[in-house]
Structure 1
């Protein structure tokens, strides 16, 4: 009788071990990868990333499309988030960058008089805040907080390694809400085409957000006048619409130069 009892208990123990749920190695790998990805950033910028949905969620996206609302017709921008290939489609011209070649395709015989090299990636960069500050080759330093209308916003100075981007001498300052972590202000210098950096910071206020695919991105941004490297009063507002993200990469043909387009040297 004792032998039967022992045998019964052994069978129950073996069955329980077989039925014990195994740890999902895929989930474990994803969690570990998330910890590794996040840990490379300082705590302050990580707090900002997390408030906007997380840098890891951003890095899973491959395509961003949005419209810049303008009185003369919306400007539709499509970006490959990995290669930074870009298409800017407007009522009077289309500007494209396939990763190597920058081109302009004029419409309706209207001559394009803008600065395509300067404008390439410009609105994308301002729109994709704060996540573009997760790119490689960036250093982060605490800077003096911004005090505006009686509220204090902690600051992070963003600078680039030599040779990173079109203007590696550019500097940016993120100022964020200490309670929510949401980005509230951007200070930036303009050094495009110049050999040296600039001491003058321009200012954009980010205080109108929307959530798309779990990422908190701008619904509109306000450019401010400035004096002594501080914002003064609002100058104008830029609104955005038709925002979409995708984990699928856009077709490369989308950014290819049409035969009628002009190459920008």
Structure 2
């Protein structure tokens, strides 16, 4: 009888030991599973949330249907730009939707082509004045809602600002050192606080300043985006207005305007961006 009691006690002790081992294994497995759950980096608002700035960018991209825009290979549009009552550009712009290739066909039959590495002017004897500005500036203004999250771009949320007695959410776009040929440029992005569409952009042009941006800082401009129309469900501003701009006064004197028409998507670039035989390279 004594031996039977000892045997029963041994079984009970062994059973308790197994239960504790199982509990320990379950706890370890749970701990390991918890460690593998990924969260957003410290740039978020905590507990894996998206940062306020990332949320702002995503709202703008969603409003301008960035995903749908980038599904297309290329986009073309006619553009007429005038400053001070004088014609600045009249032609057709074709660009890959990721902006890596650009072509401008002007009404005077000259062409500018950016192959992704170099810029070419055709024919060789065409006027190359303002070629660099034309090939990159107008396409950047056109594609700005899709460029806010580019590598090297930095967007910082700023206060609400009033423009023509209307309040807009603003953010400052700047660039890391060595990004592009004008990393000292900056833009103040105005967006509608309700639908998050881009409404205006104040900016400076520092290209050619050789590090001295005093002149550019003293003469900032602003572009207002107007007359939005949708093409395949994607909104585009078809009227641009250019003005002088100051932090204190906002919009000042009118400088120029641009009209955008015939926005068309292309699903195959074909030979559009190939360099013609009678072209010369433009040094940037």
2:226 maps to which residue? Answer: 207
Is 1:172–1:187's contact at 8 Å kept on the other side of the alignment? yes
Aligned length: 222
- Distance in 2 between residues matched to 1:245 and 1:133, nearest whole Å: 21
2:104 maps to which residue? Answer: 88
Is 2:243–2:253's contact at 8 Å kept on the other side of the alignment? yes
2:181 partner SS? coil
Equivalent runs, 1:22-171 vs 2, <5 Å? 42-53=54-65, 55-69=66-80, 74-82=90-98, 84-92=100-108, 93-106=110-123, 111-171=126-186
Larger Rg: 1 or 2? 2
2:280 maps to which residue? Answer: 262
| Of 235, 238, 244, the match for 1:225 | 244
- Distance in 2 between residues matched to 1:145 and 1:216, nearest whole Å: 23
- Distance in 2 between residues matched to 1:148 and 1:84, nearest whole Å: 33
Is 1:87–1:96's contact at 8 Å kept on the other side of the alignment? yes
* Runs of 4+ more than 4 Å apart: 70-73
1:42 partner SS? helix
Is 2:171–2:188's contact at 8 Å kept on the other side of the alignment? yes
1:133 partner SS? coil
Q: TM-score, normalised by structure 1?
A: 0.75
Distance 1:70 1:143, change over 3 A: closer
Deviates more, 1:115-124 or 1:190-199: 190-199
1:255 partner SS? coil
1:194 maps to which residue? Answer: 209
Is 2:77–2:264's contact at 8 Å kept on the other side of the alignment? yes
Structure 1 residue 238 and structure 2 residue 258: aligned? yes
2:25 maps to which residue? Answer: none
User: Which string of whole-angstrom CA distances, capped at 9 and with x for unpartnered residues, describes residues 155-195 of structure 1?
Assistant: 01111122222312211111111122221110111111223
2:14 maps to which residue? Answer: none
- Distance in 2 between residues matched to 1:228 and 1:152, nearest whole Å: 14
Q: TM-score, normalised by structure 2?
A: 0.70
Deviates more, 1:86-95 or 1:55-64: 55-64
Unaligned runs of 5+ in 1: 1-38
Structure 1 residue 183 and structure 2 residue 198: aligned? yes
1:166 partner SS? coil
Unaligned runs of 5+ in 2: 1-49
User: Which string of whole-angstrom CA distances, capped at 9 and with x for unpartnered residues, describes residues 66-96 of structure 1?
Assistant: 1103687841011122362111001221111
